Amino acid sequence: MTGYIIRRLLQLLPVVIIASVGIWGMIYAVPGSPIGAIVGENGTQEQIQAAIERLGLDQPIMVQFWQWFKGAIVGDFGYSTQSRDPVLQVILYRIPATVQLGVFAIVVGLVLGIPVAIISAVYPGSWIDRALSGWSALALGVPTFWLGILLILLFSVQLQWLPSASGYVSFFEAPLQAIKNTFLPALTLGTYVSGIFARFLRASLLGELKADYVRTARSKGLKERDVIGRHVLRNALLPFVTVVGLMAAAFIGGTVVTEAVFTYPGIGRLLIQAITTRDYPLIQGCILFILIVHVLINLLVDVLYAYIDPRIDYS
């Protein structure tokens, strides 16, 4: 198993390296000089000189890339041109907020999605199945940002129950306040997650329900609850895990958009701010960071898949 993980990690290496060449090259594609992009438009003469020396911009291009790459490996992406803080520090500061939003959204998605999937798979073709399929089509089809706006219109403007813009409060420090602040963003993003569950877990469950062991379990007198809960659901989760990997990209994109809707101070909003202020070192840092997270989620899915299915040969 360890060997398998290491080998998969090594396979990811070229992807990450090629992508970082692209991210590094970004600076050179920006109209104007890379110096302007690195120190910002209002950089002083000393800052420009310092950047030239630090980045070795008078050196051959390969050497320049190597310098940047060496720094990037140990987490040194340079300094934000806006706040003048180290990029890594700025990013790390925003991580807890995004992680909390992501976890809350997944919880919402599970709570809404799994029952929907089970009910519609148990009564396929019935009116309730058709209604729930409509729900999943809507959950997957409605743009996240518009859903967010609708939820604000309902819960903040009409009912005035929840704030329309939410700062980050840690769940471990003030659980109630954290839930109140994160509820709408999590519901927005979680609706999408529930759509994935409703559509793909349903398909997966339907496939499993036709299996022989289900008939055996029923004929030996097991209650339907136990048949589904103890046998079918477990097996159906297996093919579903790969779907989770495929949906990771959409989930990350959804997080960025959701953070923008609720002006929620996470990584996504940081990236948007960096783009609007043309803070290139910060843009590079954010994108590389998100890329690595995405790649690792996919790796985790593969490993998890190999781990839960003993039939997969990972030698």
Partner 1 sequence: MKDGTRRALGLAKRVLGRKGALAGVLFLATVVFIAIFARWIIPYDPIAQDLVSSLEPPGRKHWFGADELGRDILARVAYGARTSLLTAAGAVTVAAFFGVPIGLVAGFFGGWRDAILMRIVDVLLSLPGILFAMALIAVLGRSQLAALVAVGITGIPSFARITRAQVLSLRKRDFVMAVEALGGSSTYNMFMTVLPNSWSPILVQVVILSSVAILLEAALAFLGVGIPPPTPSWGEMLRTGKSYLYEAPYYAVLPGIVLTLTILSLDTIGRTLAWALEERHEQAEEEAEEGDKRSAA
Smallest CA-to-CA distance from 295 within 258, 232, 252 is with 252
Stretch near partner 1 under the rule CB under 8 A, chosen from 52-60, 105-113, 138-146, 231-239? 138-146
- Token duo for residue 1: 């198993």
* Percent of the chain that is helix, strand, coil (3-state, to 5): 75, 0, 20
| CB nearer to partner 1: pick between 295 and 300 | 295
User: Is there binding between residue 45 and partner 1 (CB under 8 A)?
Assistant: no
- Closer residue to partner 1, CB minimum distance, 111 or 246: 246
Q: How far apart are CA 34 and CA 13, in angstroms?
A: 27
26 sits near partner 1 (criterion: CB under 8 A): yes
Token couple for 223: 């209650």
Q: Does residue 149 bind partner 1 (CB under 8 A)?
A: yes
Kindly state whether residue 39 participates in binding partner 1, applying the rule CB under 8 A: no
Place of tokens 């329309």: 164
Nearer to partner 1, 187 or 290 (CB): 290
Does residue 175 interact with partner 1 by CB under 8 A? no
Of 278, 304, 305, 314, which one interacts with partner 1 (CB under 8 A)?
Answer: 278
| Segment lying near partner 1 (by CB under 8 A), choices 83-91, 115-123, 255-263, 306-314 | 255-263
Backbone region of residue 56 per phi and psi (left: phi > 0; alpha: psi in -120 to 50; beta: other values): left
CB 159 within 8 A of CB 151: no
Output the CA angle 111-113-116, nearest 5 degrees: 110
- 203 to 86, 124, 199, 208: CA distances (angstroms): 47, 10, 6, 9
Asked if 32 interacts with partner 1 (CB under 8 A), we say no
Nearer to partner 1, 21 or 61 (CB): 21
Among 50, 103, 137, 312, binds partner 1 (CB under 8 A): 137
**3 state DSSP class of 238:** helix
Q: Is 252 in the site for partner 1 (CB under 8 A)?
A: yes
Is 253 a residue that touches partner 1 (CB under 8 A)?
A: yes
User: 131 to each of 56, 109, 114, 134, how far by Cα in Å?
Assistant: 62, 18, 15, 5
Q: Which is nearer to partner 1, 26 or 211 (CB)?
A: 26
Binding site for partner 1 (CB under 8 A): 14-16, 18-19, 22-23, 26, 29-31, 137-138, 141-146, 149-150, 152-153, 156-157, 164, 248-250, 252-253, 256-257, 260-261, 271-272, 275-276, 278, 280, 283, 287, 290-291, 294-295
